[in-house]
Structure 1
Amino acid sequence: MLGSFNILFLLLVISITRVSAFYLPGVAPTSYKEGDSIPLYVNHITPTVFHEGQKQEEFVYSFDYYHDKLHFCQPQKLEKQPESLGSIIFGDRIYNSPFELTLLKDEKCKQLCSSIYPQGDSIFVNRLIKNGFFYNWLVDGLPAAKRLHDQRTNSDFYGSGFELGYVENDVPHLDNHFDIQVEYHKRGENEYRVVGITVVPHSWERSTAECSANSYSPVTLSPNSDTDVLFTYDVTWVESETAWATRWDKYLHVYDPKIQWFSLINFSLIIVCLTIVMSHILLRALQSDITRYNEVNLDDEYHDESGWKLVHGDVFRKPRYLLILSVLVGSGVQLFCMAFTTIGFALLGLLSPSNRGSLSTVMFILYALFGSVGSFISGSIYKFFGGEDWKLNLILTPLLVPIGILSIFTGLNMFLIAAKSSGAVPFGTLVAIVLIWFIISVPVSALGSILALKRETASKPVKTNQIPRQIPTQPFYLKTLIVALAAGIFPFGSISVEMYFIYSSLWFNRVFYMFGFLFFCFVLMAITTSLVTILMTYYSLCAENYKWQWRSIFIAGGCSIYIFVHSIILSKFELGGFTTIVLYVGYSFLISLLAFILAGSIGFISSLIFIRTIYSAVKID
């Protein structure tokens, strides 16, 4: 036995040693030599939503860097760079640029081009500047950044992107000179690696490529006449001690770490207290109920049933709209498995931020693959409650929720197309998504449904009566809506802080990487949802309400209401423009809907396990 343990330990050490020399796909380092040309790529320009100084936000969507109204300098041959599926979905549009970066060669006031801004285009660009739009460049996979300082943590870090311009006395000024500083790390003789890039933009009005004056007047795009703008840039190479493996540390800044730790500790204590209280209430109550019920059954002269035992003949009755219920629960389990696995991969560092779009790509692939699990659960539930049209269940499970998601997504995409936003997903990409879904998800989902059909049906601990029992009038505090609102506070509280950072990443163009916090909060949310749903289901059964199936889904999904309200409050009600309002509210609704399906499946399965357990423990005549 000890020898076997030593062999396993040796194999583990060898595997760890090998892993230390392994690079993930798309994130292997690139070494350069002195004089090598390093391309600078440009990405879409993005808004900084809800920034200070702006009364009303007009844009929550991005634009192509080479949008015809921006008049930025273009290379002689424009080349679009290959992107992953997830990168395209999230709006990345990466192209080459006319910037020339030569390793270890400094440049001073090098001219890019001179552009003329017509009156109408000047108005458009000024609106973008007032809405805090950012340039987004890439060098060796690193985003061009601005140096920032966090006063709360007294630390310096790099913020991705830099301003398109600035507003002074309510007058917008376009940045047209860029002071580019590239940090490099020397590994050996004539071997260098890029480990950082920062840009300091300036707005300088000049007629020639000169940068010798101490100060220039800022560039002001006139809304009444054409404006000639000269674009220039500097390049400075700076040696750094930062190794390539740690170059992202400067970009991955934790905002408000004390708030996150406080939130985790606070809700962890709440979960512990909630678990103790529920265990005390349920275990004592159930133990007393089960003992009383079983003693009554042993007495032939006295037979009385009350409480949750009274509805034993109806608790496993086929619910209304069983087909829809089973499909939603299966889809929720599919979402849960996808989210849990994706966050787990990211927590282990398998999804590098340098591999753009990898997170969303992996989410899509995992969601398609876990269709087998979702269909298996859906088919098992449908079969358990006596569903007969299993073929329709097989067809709807991989199609109903995805078609709903795709319909909402396509509708919102139409608004992006109308606004000429870079976030609009091309028609070819939508077709590719549908094809991938039918090639991958539908077959594996069919396999899961077939396995559920062939699997032996789980036994019911009690028989179902032929005539349904009448449900007495329920007290107002046990109404489904009231219970859902009350119960939803706890799961939402466990993820509320992380929801803020997730929305900041989606709308503020920030890099989200705090997957340790997210994973822990996600687990807390799942546990809390399960506990509160079980507790509310128990009280419902005690009130002789045996229609727990849909009720458990709505109670568990109550947190989605708070997620939607939270997203609206984050906007501070300062959205302007019909397209902006539709996009923000639409995507927030879609996120809330997915949260409802996911949480609802947790609540339903937890209640089903709980009910089968308690009714298996009592003796029924």
Structure 2
Amino acid sequence: MDIRALQKCGKVNVCPVFHEWEYEIALSIHNQRPVLYLFAYPAPLLSPLIWRMEESSTILLVAFLVICCASQVRSEASNHRYKAGDPVPCYSNKVGPYHNPSETYSYYDLPFCLPEHVKEKKESLGEVLNGDRLASAPYKIDFLVEKDAELACKKKLKKEEVSQFRTALAQDYYIQMYFDDMPVWAFIGQVDRPYLAEKNDYKYLLFTHMVFEFLYNKEHVIEITARIDQSFVIDLTEDKEVDVEFTYTVKWRETNIPFEKRIEKYYSSPTPHQLRIHWFAVMNSCLTVLILLGCLVMFYVRVIKKDINKYANDKELLDNQEETGWKNIHGDVFRYPKHQSLFAAVVGSGTQLFILTVSIIMLGLVGVFYPYCRGTLLTALVVVYAITSGIAGYTAVSLYFQLEGTNWVRNLLLTGYLFCGPLLLTFCFLNTVAITYRATAALPLGTILVLFSIWMLVASPLLFLGGITAKNSKSEFQAPCHTTKCPKVIPPQRWYRGILPQMAVAGILPFGVIYVELYYLFVSVWGLRAYTIYAILFIVFIILVIVTAFVNVALTYFQLAAEDHEWWWRYTVFLPMF
């Protein structure tokens, strides 16, 4: 079918993507469904290549991406069935200081025993982003086979290796391992610090024996606990070569816990005291919302009542009165802001990030994320950000055309780079630092190429698709009143009406609503505790949105009442201040 024939049907809108490219996009109506046609002309002699994407196919594509994101969430029971004597997968992951969990290194960066064949586990995108580096552990675990003081290996530590262990002991290093996809943690040793003793008198003790206790239900591993036997230690205080024997014990006990509930152990169930703190914060936030709502309602009722009484007076007296406040600038309120393209890009990117936040919280509510699932949250962030790029493109271009912009392609590019550009610069700096220190946070080249491919092949096309859709359905901005040709001069403002004091107010009030939950979120991000109370987080997020809206309405009104009609950018700055 020729594209000109489609144009003659009267049910198609054709939009050239770039004039110098031989590509055209057509939007038609087929069986009461919108159909998208992509025409590619690689050469004059080649017939057009038509890709047809119906609305249902688009929904299936999005659903497929979400399912791919969630497919790694729950372990299938069929993949975790063992017979007596079958090997149980055992992987060492990483080591790092307990008080700085974001600083992690590969397990074998410390001179632990190496197995005969070190096999690195193939990791998913989320696992690599999470800093996981799984490799074969030096322990051999067989299903239902108990072992007592089994020798893992013998090793002669050199002076440099002793010094390396001593440095790790001084920083309270811990190790993380995975057995049958269940994480365990243990300290590598301890520092004996006598009271009032000097640093030279400290003793550095390395643990050499681990006890693994497994719970099983029929053919499934249900739970694992790793603990240290402190009676097996090696003194590494002196700089000398030391012979070390690493041993381990394996115990098995039967339990009635079903396989489907084995992950519940890792849900850090808050204590009743902690729950009271959360709910007290929620009630405090609700009280803040009610106070703000009451103040706004009382204020606006008083203003409206005053205006009604004023216009109810004698008409001649009304004509002699001069308009003041926001009524005096009614012809300038809807004057377009400066830098329309940047403004539209900010609104588009902000809308995308808002949808991203809501989507992640909703996925947490339905149980997609469970504690210590390797990289599921980061995978979801990447996938959801990519598939919501079309929202950013549509919102930005739609607003840009309403502001009478013309160069919509540049606006789309600005929207795409507005968030990804600073993020890329930050990533390059942090990744360089991580590579310098050989931390597991450093992303390999392959992962960087995967992220770049997702951005180029998924996020960018959806961004342009959203922009093209907005261009085809563009509408004019219809202001409720006429905008004057010459803007009024803004009178001098008091210091507290400046942008910095108002930004502080716009940030303090929403922060007061979420500071308790924010504390627990930071504990989960920077600490070793997982955040699992997504229901309370969702409630607090809704309250945060309401408070932010109330604060912005109030501040914008006060600005207009002071006859300052340049509210567009300030309103946009107020919104993200929380």
Asked if TM exceeds 0.5, the reply is yes
Give the aligned partner of residue 452 of structure 1: 470
Give the aligned partner of residue 152 of structure 1: none
Give the aligned partner of residue 251 of structure 1: 266
TM-score (norm 1): 0.75
2:124 aligned residue (75, 81, 84): 84
- After superposition, the CA RMSD in angstroms is 2.4
Q: Cα 1:468–1:263, aligned 2, differ >3 Å: closer, same or farther?
A: same
Please tell me the residue identity of whatever aligns with 1:336. Answer: F
Q: Cα 1:292–1:457, aligned 2, differ >3 Å: closer, same or farther?
A: farther
* 2-structure distance, mates of 1:547, 1:451: 30
2:151 aligned residue (111, 125, 142): 111
Deviation at 1:108, TM superposition (A): 0.4
SS at structure 2 position matched to 1:345: helix
* 1-structure distance, mates of 2:315, 2:422: 50
Give the aligned partner of residue 191 of structure 2: 167
Please tell me the residue identity of whatever aligns with 1:108. Answer: D
1:200 aligned residue (219, 227, 245): 227
SS at structure 2 position matched to 1:417: helix
Give the aligned partner of residue 41 of structure 1: 91
CA offsets, 1:113-139, max 9 Å, x none? 123333333333323223222211111
2:517 aligned residue (477, 498, 504): 498
Does 2:541 correspond to 1:541? Answer: no
CA offsets, 1:363-386, max 9 Å, x none? 111111111111211112222223
Deviation at 1:283, TM superposition (A): 4.2
* 1-structure distance, mates of 2:413, 2:98: 43
Give the aligned partner of residue 230 of structure 1: 245
* 1-structure distance, mates of 2:248, 2:300: 69
1:483 aligned residue (493, 502, 506): 502
* 2-structure distance, mates of 1:556, 1:400: 17
Give the aligned partner of residue 525 of structure 1: 544
Q: Cα 1:227–1:318, aligned 2, differ >3 Å: closer, same or farther?
A: farther
* 2-structure distance, mates of 1:88, 1:290: 64
Does 2:107 correspond to 1:28? Answer: no
Does 2:303 correspond to 1:285? Answer: yes
Give the aligned partner of residue 388 of structure 2: 370
* 1-structure distance, mates of 2:402, 2:171: 55
Give the aligned partner of residue 140 of structure 1: 180
Deviation at 1:353, TM superposition (A): 3.8
Deviation at 1:202, TM superposition (A): 3.2
- Between 1 and 2, higher relative CO (CA 8 Å, sep ≥ 6) is seen in 1
Aligned partners of 1:114 and 1:230 also within 8 Å: yes
Aligned partners of 1:86 and 1:357 also within 8 Å: yes
Give the aligned partner of residue 97 of structure 1: 137
Q: Cα 1:389–1:287, aligned 2, differ >3 Å: closer, same or farther?
A: farther
Deviation at 1:300, TM superposition (A): 8.6
1:407 aligned residue (383, 402, 425): 425
Structure 1: tracts of 5 or more residues without a match: 1-21, 51-58, 145-160, 187-191, 204-214, 560-621
SS at structure 2 position matched to 1:44: strand
Give the aligned partner of residue 304 of structure 1: 322
Aligned partners of 2:266 and 2:371 also within 8 Å: no
Give the aligned partner of residue 351 of structure 2: 333
* 1-structure distance, mates of 2:312, 2:558: 20
CA offsets, 1:149-168, max 9 Å, x none? xxxxxxxxxxxx22122221
Give the aligned partner of residue 206 of structure 1: none
Please tell me the residue identity of whatever aligns with 2:283. Answer: I
SS at structure 1 position matched to 2:481: coil
Deviation at 1:335, TM superposition (A): 0.8
Give the aligned partner of residue 591 of structure 1: none
Give the aligned partner of residue 57 of structure 2: none
Please tell me the residue identity of whatever aligns with 2:418. Answer: L
CA offsets, 1:269-321, max 9 Å, x none? 21122222222223442464477579899999446322112112222222222
Aligned partners of 1:84 and 1:358 also within 8 Å: no
Aligned partners of 2:119 and 2:135 also within 8 Å: yes
TM-score (norm 2): 0.81
Deviation at 1:98, TM superposition (A): 2.6
* 2-structure distance, mates of 1:49, 1:354: 18
SS at structure 1 position matched to 2:94: coil
Aligned partners of 1:317 and 1:385 also within 8 Å: no
Q: Cα 1:261–1:299, aligned 2, differ >3 Å: closer, same or farther?
A: same
Does 2:413 correspond to 1:395? Answer: yes
Q: Cα 1:476–1:439, aligned 2, differ >3 Å: closer, same or farther?
A: same
Give the aligned partner of residue 514 of structure 1: 533
Give the aligned partner of residue 46 of structure 2: none
Give the aligned partner of residue 255 of structure 2: 240
Aligned partners of 1:27 and 1:354 also within 8 Å: no
Please tell me the residue identity of whatever aligns with 2:427. Answer: F
Please tell me the residue identity of whatever aligns with 1:75. Answer: P
Aligned partners of 1:308 and 1:543 also within 8 Å: yes
Structure 2: tracts of 5 or more residues without a match: 1-69, 194-201
Q: Cα 1:517–1:119, aligned 2, differ >3 Å: closer, same or farther?
A: farther
SS at structure 2 position matched to 1:41: strand
* 2-structure distance, mates of 1:90, 1:297: 71
SS at structure 1 position matched to 2:566: coil
Aligned partners of 2:387 and 2:459 also within 8 Å: yes
CA offsets, 1:186-230, max 9 Å, x none? 3xxxxx211111111135xxxxxxxxxxx45x3222452223221
Deviation at 1:453, TM superposition (A): 2.0
Deviation at 1:83, TM superposition (A): 2.0
Q: Cα 1:453–1:309, aligned 2, differ >3 Å: closer, same or farther?
A: farther
* 2-structure distance, mates of 1:294, 1:202: 87
Higher strand share: 2
Aligned partners of 1:46 and 1:509 also within 8 Å: no
Give the aligned partner of residue 71 of structure 1: 111
CA offsets, 1:2-33, max 9 Å, x none? xxxxxxxxxxxxxxxxxxxx997652122222
Q: Select the structure of larger CA radius of gyration.
A: 2
Please tell me the residue identity of whatever aligns with 1:435. Answer: S
Deviation at 1:392, TM superposition (A): 0.5
SS at structure 1 position matched to 2:451: helix
Aligned partners of 2:393 and 2:463 also within 8 Å: yes
